[in-house]
């Protein structure tokens, strides 16, 4: 794709330029912005497929404990480099959920990644799972900056950012939570959020189990 070509040339330029030069710095910015644009395009394509009812779910009966552990293991190095503790509280087993593992993994990666991004060093992110009547619940709780009450009704809207400057600096597209909500809805579930500025946030998804 054109974005792949732009990134390839930016990386090549960095290899050929003195590391501390202005030109190398410009090439790094081009690479970073290309990555951000690639994420934005991917998110827009995901939402357009959902809107057009073109999303295809490869449904499987799955115990989510393994998938949750996989996501946490994948993001653990990022949490540690940010000075955070990332942990889980999982039962030995959960009722099986009929879901697309790749799509639910996308949801969990988005929520845990967001929690890491918006939690200062020294904080904690915890992923919990439990069963309720007819539902399996997964929550992602952090001790981060939190979300003001006035913003909570809007955070699942497309392109909505609570802290625009910070979100941009962290590479956010403003579409991640909209995609989370859409994917969970496609599975017949729901996603809720509780948050308080300075006291962190908790996102909880509930999916029907078999």
Q: Three-class SS string for 154-207? A: HCCCCCCCCCHHHHHHCCCCCCHHHHHHHHHHHCCCEEEEEEECCCEEEEEEEE
Question: What secondary structure letter does DSSP report for 153?
Answer: G
* 8 A C-beta contact, residue 203 and residue 190: no
CA 126 – CA 79 distance, rounded (Å): 11
Q: What is the pLDDT of residue 169?
A: 56
Cα dist. 40→160, 182, 200 in Å?
Answer: 13, 16, 26
* 8 A C-beta contact, residue 61 and residue 210: yes
* Positions in the chain whose pLDDT score sits under 70: 163-172
Q: What is the pLDDT of residue 76?
A: 96
Q: How do residues 114-164 score in pLDDT, each as one tens digit?
A: 999 999 999 999 999 999 989 999 999 999 999 999 999 999 988 887 765
**Please, which residues bridge with residue 88 across strands?**
127
Q: What is the pLDDT of residue 166?
A: 55
CA 71 – CA 164 distance, rounded (Å): 27
Q: Nearest 5°: CA angle at 175, between 41 and 181?
A: 125
Q: What is the pLDDT of residue 168?
A: 55
Q: Nearest 5°: CA angle at 37, between 143 and 175?
A: 45
Q: What is the DSSP string of 43-85?
A: HHHHHHHHHTT------EEE-HHHHHHHHHHHHHHHHHHTT-E
Backbone angles phi, psi at 86, to 5 degrees: -125, 115
* 8 A C-beta contact, residue 205 and residue 138: yes
Q: What is the pLDDT of residue 160?
A: 83
Q: What is the pLDDT of residue 161?
A: 77
* 8 A C-beta contact, residue 129 and residue 104: no
């Amino acid at each position: 794709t054109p974005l792949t070509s732009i990134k390839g040339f930016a990386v090549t330029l960095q290899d050929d330029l003195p590391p501390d030069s202005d030109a190398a710095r410009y090439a790094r910015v081009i690479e970073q912005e290309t990555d951000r644009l690639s994420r934005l395009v991917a998110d827009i394509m995901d939402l357009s497929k959902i809107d057009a009812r073109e999303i295809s779910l490869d449904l499987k009966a799955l115990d989510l404990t393994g998938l949750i552990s996989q996501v946490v293991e994948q993001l653990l190095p990022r949490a540690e480099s940010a000075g955070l503790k990332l942990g889980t509280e999982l039962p030995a087993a959960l009722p099986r959920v009929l879901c697309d593992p790749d799509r639910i993994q996308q949801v969990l990666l988005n929520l845990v990644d967001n929690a890491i991004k918006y939690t200062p060093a020294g904080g904690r992110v915890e992923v919990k799972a439990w069963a309720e009547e007819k539902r399996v619940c997964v929550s992602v709780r952090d001790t981060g900056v939190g979300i003001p009450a006035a913003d909570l009704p809007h955070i699942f809207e497309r392109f909505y950012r609570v802290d625009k400057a910070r979100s941009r600096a962290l590479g956010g597209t403003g579409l991640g939570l909209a995609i989370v909500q859409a994917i969970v809805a496609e599975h017949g579930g729901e996603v809720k959020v509780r948050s308080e500025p300075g006291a962190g946030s908790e996102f909880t998804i509930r999916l029907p189990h078999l």
